[in-house]
């Protein structure tokens, strides 16, 4: 079974930042960026990025180079990203909200990284043993003397544009390499499919290290619209809501968990306004309802948590439920939510493939990957322009999911996602689960083995098994079954320590202390028995 996206022609030049440059030359005074009270035009942002690019080129950074970027949500973030791209290099987002230990692990597993862009507020997070640092603020006087013109490089659509880290089953994060052509194809599809233009301003709300953020940061600049940065290292729902209202934000790219918080804030604001006006029975949505599109993905959607808000009278916002993986440029399919009562009975569709992309539902039989018949469930495999270049510095085992297969009488390069799904009669994809142990927690895809590795490294822990059973709302949560190195175990202390070594979304919400793991007849850990015991744990926190 194969779902085909529209085959849309692409131009000869599919280098993403050149589209931004074209907007800067065509509309130099247009607003490109805001951050708090600061507002920057397309001409100014382009000039600052050009000067930084010329500095990088003077350091022999160019095509084939990868530059780390560890910056907060400030104008310098976009200067750095655009400057790296303009030099011909690719950037690797290093999220300053990550613990030091995680950043060190990421840096140590990216041999290509010679330089990392920092600011005074983030320099201490970057271990100088792994990379040289470029303080973009300290460089300002020197950059002001460099040429303001666009650098002329030989960058092509085959070159890398960014490398975003994803979780690894061995405890080692992997850097997914994305090509300009795939990123151009995604941004071009967004612009054409949803009519995005210079009015389609966007607010960046997701964590910088998340693959959805790369699309969210670049999409408005690709369409000539303003990008609004939230002037806060961590997500602040009240601040985000205020920016949406004051700036008239038109598009958002976020995970469902972020959307739930914004909806709660929107409905509370509407309720207060209605009470003040003496019309408490009126519509219960406010500023968020005026957003044109919210593109949501990264984790399963709980439609009951959005239905009341989405179906309110006067709500003009369209929610797009999307599916994709970092290895295939973030988005593979999209579905406009509209028939909410129908979604209550099962999984919400994630729609049809984006342009120049095919989604194949396949199964492996006797070592051969073949398509499943129509209507059956299979592993979701993605082919087409969006498939990335693989992992940087990866082992052969890591690269096995990128493969070439015979399908429909042709050889195609595809990526095996490890997700399982089926197609509806109308041709929409529905994701039903995972083939392996990878799950999505708080909007980011992780591997349970990666979490186990991080927990097991703690001196309080002798051994651990991590599962992701659903909570009362049907959303996955991480539960760590721990055999402690010394009893009794203090779950609160363990979780506090893990917050210093793992990203928050990878820290188990619950810790269950055991003296031994149950075993199945084969002598292996009985994970089903552990899962069945979650509702009645021996010790949890």
pLDDT at 470: 82
Question: What whole-number distance in Å separates Cα of residue 186 and Cα of residue 366?
Answer: 35
The tokens for 109 are: 């597993």
Instruction: For residue 503, give every residue at least 6 positions away whose Cβ sits within 8 Å of its Cβ, in sequence order, or none.
Output: 95, 97, 98, 99, 102, 209, 444
- What is the pTM for the complete model shown? 0.83
In terms of DSSP H, where are the helices of 428-475? 448-456
CA angle (343 as vertex; 340, 344 as ends), nearest 5? 100
User: How do the domains of the chain map onto residue ranges?
Assistant: 2-343, 352-434, 441-532
- Rounded to 5 degrees, what are φ and ψ at 318? -105, 125
pLDDT, position 112? 83
441-532 CATH choice from 3.40.50.11540, 3.40.50.1360, 3.30.465.10, 3.30.300.30: 3.30.300.30
Q: What is the pLDDT of residues 325-354, one digit of tens each?
A: 999 999 999 999 998 888 865 678 999 999
Look up residue 317 and give its two tokens. Answer: 């916002």
Q: Tell me how far apart the alpha carbons of residues 178 and 185 are, in angstroms, rounded to a whole number.
A: 12
Residues 491, 495: Cα–Cα separation, whole Å: 6
CA distances from 247 to 39, 77, 188, 350 (A): 12, 20, 24, 30
Contacts 24+ apart (CB under 8 A), 453-458: 453/170, 453/171, 454/171, 454/498, 454/501, 454/502, 454/506, 455/480, 455/482, 455/494, 455/498, 455/502, 455/508, 457/171, 457/501, 458/494, 458/497, 458/498, 458/501
Three-class DSSP category at 259: helix
Burial tier of 146 (Cβ tally within 10 Å: 0-12, 13-18, 19+): middle
> Strand 429-434 relative to strand 438-441: parallel, antiparallel, unpaired?
unpaired
- Average pLDDT across each block of 10 residues of the chain; the chain has 541 residues. List them in order: 94 97 98 97 98 98 96 97 98 92 87 92 86 95 97 96 78 87 98 97 92 95 97 90 95 90 89 78 76 90 84 91 95 94 80 97 87 91 96 85 83 92 93 74 73 83 85 81 87 91 89 81 65 63 48
Say how far apart CA 288 and CA 367 lie, in whole Å.
49
Q: Cα separation of 263 and 241, whole Å?
A: 10
Backbone angles phi, psi at 162, to 5 degrees: -150, 160
Predicted pLDDT of residue 537: 47
Give CATH for domain 2-343: 3.40.50.12780
CA distance 106 to 216: 22
Q: 441-532: same fold as 2-343?
A: no
Task: Report the CATH fold assignment for 352-434.
Answer: Luciferase; domain 3 (2.30.38)
DSSP 136: T
CA pair distance 173, 444, nearest whole angstrom: 13
Coil, strand or helix at 44: helix
Secondary structure letter of residue 288 according to DSSP = G
C-alpha of 318 from chain center:
20
**Of 450, 201, 167, 192, which Cα lies nearest the Cα of 326?**
167
Pairing mode, if any, of strands 368-371 and 202-204? Answer: unpaired
pLDDT of 523: 41
The whole-number pLDDT of residue 446 equals: 78
């Amino acid at each position: 079974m194969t779902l085909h996206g529209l085959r849309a022609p692409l131009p000869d030049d599919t280098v993403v930042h050149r589209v931004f440059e074209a907007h800067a030359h065509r509309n130099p005074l247009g607003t490109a960026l805001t951050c708090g009270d600061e507002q920057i035009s397309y001409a100014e942002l382009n000039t600052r990025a050009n000067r930084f690019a010329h500095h990088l080129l003077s350091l022999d950074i160019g095509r084939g180079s990868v530059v780390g970027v560890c910056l907060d949500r400030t104008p310098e973030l976009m200067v750095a990203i655009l400057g790296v791209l303009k030099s011909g290099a690719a950037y690797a987002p290093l999220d300053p909200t990550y613990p030091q230990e995680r950043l060190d692990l990421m840096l140590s597993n990216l041999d290509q990284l010679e330089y990392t862009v920092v600011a005074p507020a983030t320099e201490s997070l970057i271990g100088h043993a792994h990379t040289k640092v470029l303080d973009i603020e300290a460089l300002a006087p020197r950059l002001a003397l460099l040429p303001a013109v666009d650098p002329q490089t030989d960058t092509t659509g085959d070159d890398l544009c960014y490398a975003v880290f994803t979780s690894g089953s061995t405890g080692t994060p992997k850097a997914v390499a994305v090509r300009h052509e795939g990123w151009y194809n995604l941004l071009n599809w967004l612009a054409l499919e949803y009519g995005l233009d210079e009015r389609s301003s966007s607010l960046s709300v997701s964590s910088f290290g998340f693959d959805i953020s790369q699309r969210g940061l670049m999409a408005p600049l690709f369409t000539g619209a303003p990008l609004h940065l939230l002037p806060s290292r961590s997500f602040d729902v009240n601040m985000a809501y205020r920016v949406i209202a004051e700036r008239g934000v038109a598009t958002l790219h976020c995970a469902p968990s972020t959307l739930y918080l914004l909806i709660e804030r929107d409905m509370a604001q509407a309720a207060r306004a209605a009470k003040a006006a003496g019309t408490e029975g009126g519509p219960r949505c406010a500023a968020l309802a005026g957003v044109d599109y919210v593109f949501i993905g990264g984790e399963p959607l709980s439609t009951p948590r959005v239905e009341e808000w989405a179906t309110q009278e006067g709500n003009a916002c369209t929610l797009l439920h999307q599916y994709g993986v970092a290895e295939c440029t973030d988005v593979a399919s999209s579905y406009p939510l509209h028939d909410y009562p129908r979604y209550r009975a099962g999984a919400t569709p994630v729609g049809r493939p984006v342009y120049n992309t095919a989604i194949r539902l396949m199964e492996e039989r006797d070592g051969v990957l073949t398509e499943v018949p129509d209507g059956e469930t299979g592993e979701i495999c993605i082919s087409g322009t969006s498939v990335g270049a693989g992992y940087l510095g990866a082992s052969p085992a890591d690269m096995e999911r990128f493969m070439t297969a015979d399908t429909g009488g042709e050889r195609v390069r595809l990526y095996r996602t490890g997700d399982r799904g089926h197609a509806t009669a109308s041709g929409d994809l529905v994701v039903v689960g995972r083939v392996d142990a990878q799950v999505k927690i708080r909007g980011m895809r992780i591997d349970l083995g990666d979490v186990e590795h991080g927990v097991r490294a703690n001196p309080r822990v002798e051994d651990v098994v991590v599962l992701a059973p659903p909570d009362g709302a049907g959303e996955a949560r991480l539960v760590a079954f721990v055999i402690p190195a010394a009893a009794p175990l203090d779950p609160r202390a363990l979780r506090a320590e893990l917050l210093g070594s793992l990203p928050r979304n990878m820290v188990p919400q619950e810790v269950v202390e055991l003296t031994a793991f149950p075993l199945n007849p084969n002598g292996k850990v009985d994970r089903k028995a552990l899962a069945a015991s979650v509702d009645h744990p021996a010790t949890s926190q």
